[in-house]
Structure 1
Amino acid sequence: MATVAHIVAMSVYCLLGAYQFSSALRTRRGWHRTAGRALILAGFIAALSAVWLAVFFGGPSDELAVAMVRLVFALWTIPIGEVDAFGETWLVAAGFVINSVVAESVIRRRSSRRMSRVVRRRAPVL
């Protein structure tokens, strides 16, 4: 039952979450807010079912952490080779910098669009 709840909740979360970025759907009256509320519910169900699955159907307690580390660094190890502690530190730092740059550029682009709209809407100064 927990597996089914997790799969359904994550499917809903992924689909609705992707459509939350659509500006055409955000402008529709009430859609964005309703979808956001459904996302909160789906997120809680997915998280709780994931915890249930990890606690009751998981292997040793460190198996999940090891699996996540392997998954994250698999793209690095396939073309380059084994990653030592020093290389892992730099990969995490590089991921942080890349995420920060992308987030900052998105934020600046959106704020510049808003400012250009505000400037266009102002009445001409006489």
Structure 2
Amino acid sequence: MHIVCAVVYAILGAFQFSAALRRRRPGWHRVAGRVLVVLGLAVAFSALWMTQFYPRQPGTGELAYVFRLTFGSGMAASIILGFTAIRRGDVARHRAWMTRAYALALGAGTQVFTQGIGNAVFGTSELTTDLMLGAGWGINLAVAEYVIRRHVSSRRTSRARTKVAA
């Protein structure tokens, strides 16, 4: 369930970030968004469930366990906060929270690179594995925050130019 929901969430979610698609097909964006809320919560909660009830992966330690609980909870919280923001009509907050949720969901893809690089540079150990797992989520969140802030900054600059021109 976790993998199937994550794959569909990753693919369908990418289309939600297309401004042109949102403008041309707002109904599609709304329906797909509702589907993505369900899929995203299924991904986050199944990740938390696996963390709690599956045997630990060999080579990972307590830090990986804490990271999985933290980032899985963070993804669920981001989806819920994004959904409640759009229900209130707060598009900017909705966009920011959904961007964070999507970034966390794609953490496993980034972890392939962080673990490969971490193992090559630092060798294989429980601590290296755990830190590289955390780095995957951390890198994605850092990029998401950059994108969110860049978008907000460009909107402020655009508004300032409009006021000066008027």
**1:38 and 2:80 are equivalent in the alignment:** no
Match of 2:8 in 1: 12
- 1:4-59 Cα shifts (integer Å, max 9, x gaps): x434322221111111111112223223222211111112333455537973xx4x
Q: Could you say which structure has the greater relative contact order, defined with CA pairs below 8 angstroms and 6 or more residues apart?
A: 1
TM-score (norm 1): 0.56
Question: Unaligned stretches of 5+ in structure 2?
Answer: 65-110
Larger CA Rg, structure 1 vs 2: 1
Larger relative helix fraction: 2
One-letter code of the match for 2:120? I
Pick from 92, 109, 114 the counterpart of residue 150 of structure 2.
Answer: 109
Percent of aligned pairs with the same amino acid: 37
TM-score (norm 2): 0.46
Question: Unaligned stretches of 5+ in structure 1?
Answer: none
Pick from 53, 63, 85 the counterpart of residue 57 of structure 2.
Answer: 63
Q: What is the rounded CA distance, in whole Å, between the counterparts of 1:15 and 1:113 in structure 2? A: 27
Q: C-alpha root-mean-square deviation of aligned residues, in Å? A: 4.4
